């Protein structure tokens, strides 16, 4: 494709947005008029997943199109290697101006990994993250998670950084020479990631007595899978008072509407500058947020609210407006799609498949599967998920498996793994998962990496063992 025929790409990425908390995915309360607009005028993927439900691993997998066990992006303190090829490299090689405004959570010295420049700031990349040590297991937290107690109206450093990312992105789009070269603008917001604090006008949209409560059946937490019981303990997820839960959900919903307004401002800028018709607009997130469901907050697990993500693609007059795609996809497939846009057909080190054939052919025989893994804090051994069609299979090394029929049990309360009539399905999905993922070898690699980084951290801080 000649360079002057390349469409522009506006890639909007949020942090910690579970798709079920938005209009396009059916929530009755959360106000998302601009995500609704993307759904009305573009394509919405109903079953999209991240490849690791944690910020940095998910984003490094997305940047490279590779699973985290292949690139060593184990946790929030394991930066991407400087020689890793990203979709940003591919698109710049094809002639795009590729820039970032906001968060992409790069650790280490390289804060670009193929982008030409950072227009704003990456607050989470500026912060030092604690190191994971599986040898310590999953000890209970010393106090309840403070995210709920801190929820309320106001502003935070995160809000200031997101506002900056929006301003800088709009300034970029308004520059008169934008039409001289095709561009990719990745605007990446921290919202709706905690802290659950949002400006007053967004907080006021959600009266506390109208807020829905998490759906937790009697006896569920007592019989919950052991990996999640341990995680709840380690993350300090206690039985919080109802008022705190409602306030936390107000904060989360308000942040989603705050984010949605920014999406609208970016779309409006494209319209005003005459660039909308030649711009592919993509909205997605790095992972979800439990929001109190199953007694859990934050992410780091394979429940739908944690591992499922929104994915919407709009290209006016080029893609079928209002279409919904039910097939299972994941972020590495979006990466392959971006590489597909670059015209680079020779690069084969991708774990995903381009979504373009699925978008253009509703009858395509798509793989209909997604893989995700988690190798960080909150667990003590490797865990992974494999979804194929309507079934989701969860594996945690040393624990019993889980199997859910998402079509019949979207809230994942009925574990089918120990039921005789589902053994064939369970064994089939286990085989497909373990064919591509060796938990014993991965555990060895993760533990070696943890020990090396812990040693470096100790010596850097001037700590060493005393000789006896």
Query: In angstroms, rounded to a whole number, what is the distance separating the alpha carbons of residues 56 and 79?
Result: 8
Q: How would DSSP label each residue in 69-118?
A: HHHT--STT-PPPTT---HHHHHHHTT-EEEEEE-----SS-S-TT-SEE
Among candidate residues 365, 332, 362, the one with its CA nearest the CA of residue 349: 332
The one catalytic residue among 69, 90, 105, 113: 105
Buried b (16+ CB within 10 A) or exposed e, 178-216: beeebbbbbbbbbbbbbbbbbbeebbeebeeeebeebeb
Distance (Å, whole) CA 141 – CA 118 = 36
Please state, as a whole number, how many other Cβ atoms lie within 10 Å of the Cβ of residue 176.
Answer: 7
Selecting among 55, 237, 247, 426, the annotated active-site residue is 55
Residue 114 C-alpha from the chain's centroid: 20
Distance CA 49, CA 387 (A): 9
- Residue 166's Cβ-count burial label (10 Å; 0-12, 13-18, 19+) is buried
Task: Please confirm, yes or no, whether 105 is among the known catalytic residues.
Answer: yes
| Residue 412 near residue 303, CB atoms below 8 Å | yes
Q: How far apart are CA 385 and CA 302, in angstroms?
A: 7
Provide the CB-side half-sphere exposure for 428 (13 A, CA): 9
| Active-site annotation, residues | 55, 105
């Amino acid at each position: 494709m000649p360079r002057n025929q390349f469409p522009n790409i506006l890639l909007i990425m949020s942090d910690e947005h579970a798709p079920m908390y938005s209009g396009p995915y059916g929530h009755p309360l959360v106000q998302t008029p601009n995500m609704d607009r993307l759904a009305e005028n573009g394509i919405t993927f109903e079953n999209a997943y991240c490849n690791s439900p944690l910020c940095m691993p998910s984003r490094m997998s997305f940047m490279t199109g590779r699973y985290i066990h292949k690139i060593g992006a184990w946790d929030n303190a394991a930066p991407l290697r400087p020689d890793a090829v990203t979709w940003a490299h591919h698109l710049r090689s094809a002639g795009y101006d590729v820039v970032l405004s906001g968060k992409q959570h790069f650790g280490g010295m390289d804060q670009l990994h193929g982008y030409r420049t950072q227009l704003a700031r990456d607050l989470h990349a500026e912060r030092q993250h604690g190191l994971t040590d599986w040898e310590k297991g999953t000890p209970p937290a010393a106090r309840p998670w403070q995210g709920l107690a801190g929820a309320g109206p106001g502003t935070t450093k995160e809000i200031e950084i997101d506002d900056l990312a929006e301003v800088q992105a709009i300034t970029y789009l308004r520059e008169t020479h934008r039409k001289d070269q095709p561009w990719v603008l990745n605007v990446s917001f921290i919202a709706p990631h905690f802290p659950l604090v949002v400006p007053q006008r967004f907080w006021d949209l959600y009266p506390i007595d109208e807020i829905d409560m998490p759906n937790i059946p009697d006896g569920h937490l007592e019989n919950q899978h052991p990996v999640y019981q341990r995680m709840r303990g380690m993350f300090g997820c206690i039985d919080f008072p109802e008022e705190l839960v409602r306030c936390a959900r107000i904060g989360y919903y308000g942040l989603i509407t705050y984010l949605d307004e920014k999406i609208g401002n970016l779309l409006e800028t494209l319209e005003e500058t005459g660039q909308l018709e030649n711009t592919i607009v993509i909205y997605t997130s790095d992972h979800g947020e439990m929001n109190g469901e199953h007694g859990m907050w934050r992410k780091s697990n394979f429940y739908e609210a944690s591992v499922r993500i929104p994915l919407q693609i709009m290209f006016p007059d080029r893609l079928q407006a209002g279409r919904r795609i039910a097939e299972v996809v994941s972020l590495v497939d979006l990466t392959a799609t971006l590489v597909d846009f670059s015209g680079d057909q020779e690069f084969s080190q991708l774990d995903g498949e381009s979504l373009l054939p699925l978008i253009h052919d509703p009858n395509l025989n798509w793989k209909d599967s997604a893989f995700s893994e988690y190798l960080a804090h909150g667990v003590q051994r490797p865990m992974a998920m494999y979804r194929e069609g309507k079934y989701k299979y969860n594996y945690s090394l040393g624990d019993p498996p889980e199997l859910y029929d998402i079509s019949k049990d979207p809230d994942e309360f009925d574990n089918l793994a120990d039921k005789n009539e589902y053994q064939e399905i369970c064994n089939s999905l286990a085989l497909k998962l373990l064919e591509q993922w060796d938990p014993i070898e991965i555990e060895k690699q993760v533990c070696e990496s943890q020990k090396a980084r812990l040693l470096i951290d100790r010596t850097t801080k001037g700590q060493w063992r005393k000789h006896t």
